[in-house]
Amino acid sequence: MEERTVGDPLEVAQENARRKARAVDGELVVGVDTGVALDDRILPKPHDAAQAREWLRALSGRTHGVVGGLCVVRAGREQVVVEVTEVTFRELVEDDVAWYVASGEWEGKAGGYAIQGRGAALVERIAGDYLNVVGLPLAALMRLVPELLQMRGFRA
């Protein structure tokens, strides 16, 4: 499944989550998409180290939105929600950018960073659901499927 990376960040996250959920058969299917939006522009997964440096420099000293799209499909019915968490990066110097890019942690990460790892050192503050930034808006999921905790084999 090819992910969309262009368009309104909220709509893109919803559509990507919907596509992921529809791609799997099951009694209860959850599709999730996480994107980074800066000035209404999506910063997708960098395709190389140069683009990772570009994304980090763009995020430096600024607040961006991490947009989590969540789609739950059960009994042929879809529920789709979007969660937005505001993340503010501290002012980064070139040594910060070089250190993080050299770590390789940026690979495969929307916006070129992972807050749950070394990327936490880049962040000054967040407003909203931390787990949304990590990649699963768990609070939103629990609102849609409160009985999930009671299901056998549940693992977050």
- The residues that are catalytic are 33
C-alpha span between 20 and 32 (Å, rounded): 7
C-alpha span between 142 and 73 (Å, rounded): 14
- Is 145 within 8 Å of 72 (Cβ atoms)? yes
The letter for the amino acid at 117 is G
C-alpha span between 15 and 28 (Å, rounded): 18
